[in-house]
Structure 1
């Protein structure tokens, strides 16, 4: 379970599937979407996205996406980059 006491969670959703044609965002079969998961930060979502994208590199129609759920849940919130929060 993720630690929620150390601050806000910036939830990210990773999913993918086979597209009908290259250059589109329309999926061939919604029943076959690959729901990778929900992650507590962008870094862990990117790691999961990269693993799935690299595993399906031989299928040009397969695409994975990262959805910034925190932006949908709190559209007016201002994001502070992780390195800025640490003073870097």
Structure 2
């Protein structure tokens, strides 16, 4: 069975209407999780903890999709 990983991360956005981080260096990496339920629970905890700050946003990402995409596209050239 293939491993399916999820990442939870977040931070303060420039404006609540766009997914652009105010300070990318300050992005909070909550963690990487082996199952969606654990990732969702972590996302929900952080989202609820920061609910009073409209500029704060947390995301739950599917790392498998990112890993699959990276194997089907050429590496970036410096």
State the TM-score, normalizing by the size of structure 1. Answer: 0.74
1:66 is the counterpart of 2:43:
no
* Structure 2 partner of 1:48: 42
The alignment covers a number of residue pairs equal to 69
For 1:21-60, what aligned pairs fall within 5 Å after superposition? 21-60=15-54
Give ranges in structure 2 of 5+ residues lacking alignment.
70-78
CA distance in 2, matches of 1:17, 1:67: 14
The TM-score normalised by the length of structure 2 is: 0.82
Matches of 2:35 and 2:67, distance apart in 1: 14
Structure with more helix by fraction: 2
Structure index of larger Rg: 1
CA distance in 2, matches of 1:49, 1:72: 19
